[in-house]
Amino acid sequence: MIVCEDLSKHFGNIKAIEEFTIKIPDGQIFGLLGPNGSGKTTTMRMLSCLINATSGKAFIDEYEIGRKNDNQKIRSMIGLLPEVPGLYETLGAYKNLDYYAQFYNVPKNKREKNIRNMLTNLDLWERRNDPVGGFSKGMKQKIAIARAMVHEPKYMFLDEPTAGLDPEAAKTIREYILDLKSKGRTFLINTHNLAEAERVCDTVAVVKNKLIKVGNPKELARGLFTRTVCVTLDYIPSSLVKNISMLDVVSQVHADGNKLFLNVNDPETDNPKIISWLIKKKLNVQFLSEEEYSLEDVYLKLIGEDDQ
Amino acid sequence: MRWKNAWILARKDIDEFKKQKLVIGSIIAMPLVLGIVLPLVMFVPAIAMAPLEDTWDINGLLEIGDFEGDHLDPWTNQTLQNISLNSTVIYYTVLKNVDLHDCVLVSCIVENSTLSNSTILNNIIEHSQLNNVFVSHSEGIELDGKNILSVNSDLAFTKTKESEAAAFLPMALNTVLMLFIIVPATLPTVIASYSIVGEKNNRSLEPLLATPITDGELLAGKILSSFLPTMISTIFAFVLSVILIDTIFFTQLGYLPLPTLTWILSILLLAPLACLMSILACVLVSSKVTDVRAAQQVGGFVIMPVIVLMLGVVSGFILLSPLTILIFAGIYCCIDLGLFYFARAIFNREDILVKWT
């Protein structure tokens, strides 16, 4: 488990992150969302024992970040994908991965097996000995991800894992992450790709130099937005909007074409009442669905509110 | 400190150097120039110009006239052995193991004796010491001594005067030896300066620092990767140079002038320590600056202690001997240890990561 308690980092007068408190249970994919300069990378670097916190504490399992004897143990438990791949460009993909695996004491046979599996999964096995300097940005990113995972760490910190990847490669990486998650690995992912975060993250934290909100993407949306039911009718009489707004279960209503959008507090209880009322009015209900708010809506609302 | 981690990092760096043909080329070429071209340029012309052999003139020996072989063979009628004589004239006698002072010897055979302040006429002299003597119409072999005036005689002495080659050799060898210390100190400065700041510029330092490698292991790995290729090529050049110099001088001197203890100590002790000193200083600078050029510029100052030694030797102020080498090795060793602990103490992962160019 990863625990941050009031973790802060200041660079001189600049407060990169303030009083950041989260808990990431084992086996979860935790997304850190926030605009550029919001402290996501700083947080990841603190958790990777690369920089020291100004105040607060953080723990990975029983080890405390920043404590000299624990730092090395933490670094042996994590795999880090930084913002920039940072590969050794004159060396081949295989050697790039092999040297890193050796730092983690991965036995030779296992190293060979892991590297072969990873490069095969990422469609790079055939080019394993080519200098990576000649690779595309996406290919380099794949190797950097493989490097973070080559020693099969318990915790993986990925900064923008699918940035610069084509959709197919991004899908491969996502599936790879989900596969590792199913094997009990824990991920902390910094991303601007909200759709991706929504797809893979169990929990997301929206940060802007402090923690703004943390939770499951769907729960966050429910907490932020009133739930909206969309009713599609064969036609909408002119008086309908005014009449239906009289119902006590409906807080707000508007029509768009033959669709009626109703804000309700509890659709599970209120929808039957609304349908009954419409049937009584001899209106034909074609479809009934709940309007979904994306993580992007949640993110923009949270960041917007914070700006105000 | 786990040396395994340092070795992994050093192997990675060396693998990278191998791909940089100019870098590895310069590391190999410089010692070869030093080991082969320099001895050829320095010694071959000197040997070509020097006379092949120059008989030693015993101090004060003055030879007048030519020995024409017209002297009379000495006629002997008695033998004197193991005695000491003063102010005596001796004729037609075999003298063995005698000590003669202020004597005149005419037509004698002298063996294993010492003759001082004497006159020697028509003698055969072997294995003897002659001091302040006048020799005329005599033959001699295996002689030694000083202040000898020889007239119409054929005297051969055991000692020969140092040939020009032998006289020229020590200074030239000292110069070559100094180069064998300066080159390993200068050669790795470029790659050592690049070591950490290069990783920083490539952005490969962050994932490296996130591995379990410690600061000491990282520094040791970076030092090893510069040290090993430099010292391997230097020792290879040293061996070539020794073979070449020995080949050039063997016919002149009749013995192999190298390797001496001073040379062996220098190459096995002083050169590696000078090399380490230079690398340590460059790695230290490399971890504190944000630009490769700055690292190289500042790193250039680090060979000053080696330059001091070279200037001292060339000017004659410092005489190279095994003791001198051991003293300098001790000084360099202290500097190296100080630099390593200082570099480790000021190595700060956060500073390095945050202060990007």
| Overall domain count for chain B | 2
CA distance B350 to chain A (A): 5
C-alpha of A102 from chain center: 30
The C-alpha atoms of residue A73 and residue A67 are separated, in whole angstroms, by 10
Tell me if chain B has a CB within 8 Å of the CB of A84.
yes
Q: Looking at beta carbons, which pairs linking B15-21 to residues 24 or more positions away fall under 8 Å?
A: B15/A91, B15/A95, B16/A88, B16/A90, B16/A91, B17/B191, B17/B225, B17/B229, B19/A90, B19/A91, B19/A131, B20/A90
The pLDDT confidence band at residue B65, using thresholds 50, 70 and 90, is very low
- The answer for B 194-223 residues in CB contact with A (under 8 A) is 202-207, 209-214
Tell me if chain B has a CB within 8 Å of the CB of A49.
yes
**Residue A95 DSSP SS3:** helix
* Arithmetic mean of pLDDT, B164-177: 76
**Residue B319 DSSP SS3:** coil
Packing angle of the helix pair B164-186, B304-314 (nearest 10 deg): 170
Tell me if chain B has a CB within 8 Å of the CB of A82.
yes
Tell me, yes or no, whether B328 and B221 share the same domain: yes
Instruction: State if pTM tops 0.80.
Output: no
Tell me if chain B has a CB within 8 Å of the CB of A90.
yes
Q: Which tens digits make up the pLDDT trace of B101-156?
A: 999 898 889 999 999 999 999 999 999 999 999 999 899 998 988 888 888 888 88
Is B288 among the domain residues?
yes
* Arithmetic mean of pLDDT, B227-253: 87
pLDDT in tens, chain A (308 residues): 999 999 999 988 889 999 999 999 999 999 998 888 889 999 999 999 999 999 999 999 999 998 888 998 999 999 999 989 999 999 999 999 999 999 999 999 999 999 999 999 888 999 999 999 999 888 999 999 999 999 999 999 999 888 878 888 888 888 889 988 999 999 999 988 888 888 899 999 989 899 888 888 777 777 667 788 899 998 888 888 888 888 888 888 888 888 989 888 888 888 899 999 998 888 888 898 887 777 777 777 777 776 66
The pLDDT confidence band at residue B296, using thresholds 50, 70 and 90, is confident
**What DSSP state is assigned to residue B52?**
S
Tell me, yes or no, whether B180 and B115 share the same domain: no
Tell me, yes or no, whether B88 and B146 share the same domain: yes
CATH topology for A2-216 is Rossmann fold (3.40.50)
Of the three residues B98, B132, B157, the one that is the final residue of a domain is B157
Q: Which tens digits make up the pLDDT trace of A11-30?
A: 888 899 999 999 999 999 99
| Chain A residues touching B214 at Cβ < 8 A | 72
Of the three residues B106, B129, B157, the one that is the final residue of a domain is B157
* Arithmetic mean of pLDDT, B184-194: 84
- Where are chain A's structural domains? 2-216, 226-292
Mean pLDDT of chain B: 83
The pLDDT confidence band at residue B75, using thresholds 50, 70 and 90, is low
In this structure, whether the domain defined by A226-292 belongs to CATH 3.40.390.10 is answered with: no
Is B171 among the domain residues?
yes
Q: Are B62 and B47 in contact (CB under 8 A)?
A: no
Nearest by Cα to A82 from A171, A159, A189? A159
Tell me, yes or no, whether B181 and B307 share the same domain: yes
- Please report which helix (H) or strand (E) contains residue A24, including its range: strand A14-24
- Residue B146: which domain range? 62-157
CB contact under 8 A, A104 and B205: no
Taking CA–CA distances from B198, the nearest residue in chain A reads A88
Tell me, yes or no, whether B209 and B78 share the same domain: no
Taking CA–CA distances from A130, the nearest residue in chain B reads B19
CB contact under 8 A, B15 and A86: no
Taking CA–CA distances from A144, the nearest residue in chain B reads B207
Is B57 among the domain residues?
no
Tell me, yes or no, whether B173 and B192 share the same domain: yes
Higher pLDDT, B63 or A158: A158
Q: Which tens digits make up the pLDDT trace of A76-115?
A: 999 999 989 999 999 999 999 999 999 999 999 999 999 9
User: Of A11, A104, A147, which is closest to B354 when you measure between CB atoms?
Assistant: A11
Query: What's the confidence (pLDDT) of residue A103?
Result: 94
* Arithmetic mean of pLDDT, B57-78: 53
Query: What's the confidence (pLDDT) of residue A89?
Result: 93
Tell me, yes or no, whether B143 and B189 share the same domain: no
CB contact under 8 A, B203 and A82: yes
Of the three residues B157, B181, B198, the one that is the final residue of a domain is B157
CA distance A40 to chain B (A): 14
Tell me, yes or no, whether B329 and B222 share the same domain: yes
Is B75 among the domain residues?
yes
